[in-house]
Amino acid sequence: MSILIDVATGGVRGGTSILYAGVGETVSERSGVINLGTEGSMLGGALAAYVLAAETGNPWLGVLGGAIAGAVLSSVHGVLVVRRGANQFASGLAVLFLALGLTSLFGAAYVGRTITSFQNYAIPILSDIPVLGPILFNHDPLVYLSYVVVPVVWYVLFRTRVGLLIRTAGERSEALTVHGFKVKNVRMLAVTVGGLFAGIGGAHLSIAYTNSWFENMIAGRGFIAVALVIFASWSPLRVFAGAYLFGAALALGPALQARGFGINQFALHVIPFVLTLVVLAVLGRRTISAAPAELKRVFENAPPDP
Amino acid sequence: MTAHVDTDVDPQAPPAQATWQSKLARAGLRALPHVGRWAAAIAGALLIFSILVSFKGANPIDVFGDMWTSTFSRSRSIGEIFIRMAPLALAALAVVVPARAGMINVGGEGQVIVGAVAAAGVGLATDQVLPGGVVLLLMAIAAILAGALWAGIAALLRLVFNVNEAVTTLLLNFVSLDLLLFLIYQPWRESPTQQPATRQLATEAQLPTLAATGVHVGIVVAVIAAVVLALALGRTRWGFRLAVVGGNPEAARRAGMPVTVLLLSALLVGGALAGLAGMIEFAGVETKLRPGFGTQIGYVGFLASWLARHKPVPVLIAAFTLAALAVGADSLQLDSGLPAATINILTALLLMAVLGWTAFRKKAA
């Protein structure tokens, strides 16, 4: 039993960075833009947060900086894709390389620096609930923030005018044009907001989870987030479940090793990636039919035989 | 179609001013705005890079000067460029072929690694018993098959389950990285007390070098592959059909083309090329598997293919440029005290300039 609680707790903690990035990517993809630069936005967010936390001693300023860095990087993707008509996949990877370069240039001085990081805070009463208490209510503030942010994003996307505009940009962009809205502006907004959340995700990783900075520390979490959005069928709420599943798969290795199981860590580390591939295959046709129509055009530049 | 207008000149027509000089001059004039855009794009990239570098207290002029002299003034570093260029060019060609059919292969990174893993598996099992030439051949075959198989997984997911290949090839990169680490941390590890790595490939089974240059024959393989692909894509029925599928799959299907087979073949050929790149890196440079083997060959190859607009022969130029930048990055670290990964900024800016500002618009997103 204790191992299940450990893995689930680790899943929430380790999945939170992916959750933020996945929710941001949902917003972006709902407007019709896929952003592989999410990985880069997370990287930029992780460093900016770390630098600000180290220099100011205030982790919340770190989160702010991380969000801004993530948004700036994704807006580069936005300009290339939305304004200049560049290929979405190529532009995303270019943004990742930009982030890799920038963070290694400006991050070298911060490797090994100590920072004031976020601390765990057990919520009174709630954290005493058996099983659920330790899994959900004994975490750092950014985890709690995600409990609020993700439903809010869902609400904005599906119950407000701005959300309607974003979804229309992804489903039937002509309809926006007809009503006098600029599709490009709506998409720029969605992509930038997406990067903002990815930046917060990166910040969680560097100043709440690992409490360190090193080159390329995101290690594929941004790409996982992109895949996650697809298998969550572009729903922010399902991204919750997916992100924690990934986090749990990542937490399984350390939990087993702590109990003396000598398993090659890479056999466990591969699980989330294989899991994603399997889920994508199983849900393949169903998810793709749920995709925003404009995004489908990006995906299906050459659809297979029917 | 319009390309034929120039060549199929009506013999009845007056020879006009169609001397080769005037043709060249007109072609030059037409290319001028194009060249201007490229020059402006590259200048912009260099300028932004200079500003960023100067933030860290380095003098950009010195940085470029050091990179230039250390990259091009020593014959050894020129050789080094060709050594790095070979796998990059192959990894870029691995993007070119699927792109021709409208598919995006972001999985070069993983295909390079499984190619190297297969080559190492075969090579280390046979290099003590078989002659070097045979081992090399077996390694190449194993790497090609492994790379094709790895891309084949993505092809299968695309063609059977309708999952986008850009996403699956990307995820498979991480699977292959874990496979590599799994093998060298345990089953294939040479010694538990030393750094995790396999043993070294026997010298006779390593790629031969081109007479006294120190450059292994990988570059020859890459150039041949580029030329063969240029012919295959430009002159064969297969290449033509791939282009039709890439341009308009619906039209291809109505014309009775085997769209599924064509898409599959494009991804398999791409994977095979990347697998071969992994074998070349293993047998020509690294000679043992270690953590970090072949890092970024696939991704940089992806960028090279986009720089070259998915054309095989220009891919060689793009791969050369990026290889030269990578060699220059070492000088960045040694002479200017900047992290070598800083060069990624310049690579990214160059690609962004090309993607956004050189009139290369595939379809508006």
Sequence spans of domains, chain A: 15-244+286-299
DSSP state of A208: I
pLDDT of residue B9: 44
Average pLDDT of chain A is 90
Q: What whole-number distance in Å separates Cα of residue B284 and Cα of residue B303?
A: 23
B305, B95 contact by CB (below 8 A): yes
- Mean pLDDT in residue range B135-152: 97
B325 to A230, B64, B142, B348: CA distances (angstroms): 36, 11, 31, 12
Question: Per the structure block, which two tokens stand in for B182?
Answer: 């799994």
Of A93, A102, A227, the CB nearest to B303: A93
pLDDT at A300: 65
CB B162 within 8 A of CB A304: yes
- Check A32 against B306: CB less than 8 A apart: no
Write out chain B residues lying below 8 Å of A288, CB-based.
162-164
A97 to B253: CB separation less than 8 angstroms, yes or no: no
- Please tell me the distance from the alpha carbon of residue A96 to that of residue B325, in angstroms, as a whole number: 18
Query: Are the beta carbons of B345 and A33 separated by less than 8 Å?
Result: no
Write the class of the CATH domain B42-357.
mainly alpha
Closest partner CB to A266 (pick from B106, B182, B348): B182
Nearest CA of chain B to the CA of A142: how many Å?
Answer: 27
B322: which 2 tokens? Answer: 């990026």
CB contact under 8 A, B157 and A81: no
Given a cut of 80, is residue B131 above it in pLDDT? yes
Whether B18 has a pLDDT exceeding 90, the answer reads no
Does the distance separating the beta carbons of A86 and B365 come in below 8 Å? yes
For residues B355 and B307, what is the distance between their CA atoms, to the nearest angstrom? 8
> What residues of A are in contact with residue B361 (Cβ under 8 Å)?
85
> Rounded distance, CA B244 to CA B240, Å?
6
CA distances from A270 to A156, A258, B149, B173, B182 (A): 35, 19, 18, 11, 10
Mean local confidence (pLDDT), B5-16: 47
pLDDT band of B218, cuts 50, 70, 90: very high
**Which residue of B297, B355, B360 is the best one to mutate when testing the A interface, meaning the one whose CB has the most A CBs within 10 A?**
B355
The pLDDT, as a whole number, for residue B364 is: 38
* Closest residue in chain B to residue A173, using alpha carbons only: B365
Give B332 or A209, the one with higher predicted confidence.
A209
Q: Quick one: how many helices (H) and strands (E) in chain B?
A: 14, 0
Residues in CB range of A175: below 8 A, 6 or more apart: A168
- Give the Cα-Cα-Cα angle A41, A46, A49 (nearest 5 degrees): 115
Which residues of A are less than 8 Å from B168 in CB distance?
277, 280
Per-residue pLDDT, A29: 95
Tell me whether residues A80 and B52 touch, CB distance under 8 A.
no
CB contacts of A102 in chain B (<8 Å) are 52, 345
Cα of A157 to nearest chain B Cα, Å: 21
* β partners of residue A138: A122
Is the Cβ pair B102, A281 closer than 8 Å?
A: no
**Residue A263 near residue A257, CB atoms below 8 Å:** yes
Q: Do A302 and B102 touch (CB under 8 A)?
A: yes
A-B interface: how many C-beta pairs under 8 angstroms?
A: 189
Sign of CA dihedral B277, B281, B283, B288: negative
Residues of A in contact with B299 (CB under 8 A): 93, 97
Nearest residue on chain A to B355, alpha-carbon basis: A86
Tokens of B195: 């750094």
Q: A280 to chain B: nearest residue by CA?
A: B163
Pick among B113, B167, B300, B343 to test the A interface (most A CBs inside 10 A): B167
User: Which of B2-6, B24-28, B166-170, B302-306 has the least mean pLDDT?
Assistant: B2-6
Cα–Cα dist B30/B16, whole Å: 19
Write out residues in chain A with pLDDT < 50, as ranges.
302-306
Residue of chain B with shortest Cα separation from A282: B161
String of DSSP letters for B214-272? --BTHHHHHHHHHHHHHHHHHHSHHHHHHHHHHH-HHHHHHTT--HHHHHHHHHHHHHH
- Residues composing chain B: 365
| C-alpha distances out from residue B156 to B165, B244, B264, Å | 9, 21, 8
Q: In the predicted model, is pLDDT for residue B362 greater than 50?
A: no
CA distance B192 to B182: 14
A100 Cα to chain B: minimum distance (Å): 7
Is residue B173 packed enough to be buried (19+ CB in 10 Å), middle (13-18) or exposed (0-12)? buried
pLDDT per residue as tens digits for the range A139-190: 999 999 999 999 999 999 999 999 999 999 999 888 998 998 999 999 999 9
Residue appearing with tokens 């894509």: B233
The reply to whether residue B347 touches residue A101, judged by beta carbons under 8 angstroms, is: yes
Chain B residues touching A84 at Cβ < 8 A: 355-357
DSSP lists the bridge partners of residue B216 as B209
* Residue among B162, B179, B365 whose CB faces A304 most closely: B162
Contacts of A276 in chain B (CB under 8 A): 171
Instruction: Name the residue facing A93 among B299, B356, B362 (closest C-beta).
Output: B299
Helix locations, chain A, DSSP H? 2-30, 38-56, 59-78, 88-107, 132-136, 141-159, 161-171, 173-178, 183-204, 221-231, 236-258, 265-269, 271-290, 293-299
Q: What is the pLDDT of residue A293?
A: 84
Q: Report whether pLDDT(B146) > 90.
A: yes
pLDDT for A301 equals 55
Q: Do B168 and A269 touch (CB under 8 A)?
A: no
Domain boundaries, chain B: 42-357
Q: Which of A253-257, B11-15, B33-37 has the highest mean pLDDT?
A: A253-257
Lowest mean pLDDT among A253-257, B99-103, B162-166, B244-248: A253-257
- A76 to chain B nearest CA, in Å? 9
Strands A121-122 and A138-139: antiparallel
Q: Which of A57, A73, A54 is nearest to A196 (CA)?
A: A73
pLDDT at B30: 67
Which one-letter DSSP state was computed for residue B337? -
Collect all residues of chain A within an 8 Å Cβ-Cβ radius of residue B153: 277
CA distance A187 to A195: 12
Phi, psi of B216 (to 5 degrees): -75, 170
Residue with tokens 């056999």: A267
Interchain proximity A273–B175, CB inside 8 Å: yes
Nearest CA in chain B to A184: B365
Q: How far is B206 from chain A (nearest CA, A)?
A: 29
Compute the C-alpha angle A290/A19/A125, nearest 5°: 125
Q: How far B277 CA lies from chain A's nearest CA (Å)? A: 21
Of B172, B181, B347, the CB nearest to A97: B347
Q: A227 vs B171: CB contact, 8 Å cut-off?
A: yes
The pLDDT of residue B34 is above 80: no
Set of chain A residues whose Cβ sits within 8 Å of the Cβ of B346 = 101
- Within 8 A of B172 by CB-CB distance, chain A residues are 273, 277
Task: Supply the mean pLDDT for chain B.
Answer: 87
Report pLDDT digits (tens) over B301-310. Answer: 999 999 898 9
Q: How far is CA B302 from CA A162, B284, B296, B358, in A?
A: 36, 21, 10, 18
Element (H, E) at A121: strand A121-122
Looking at residue A270, what is its pLDDT? 86
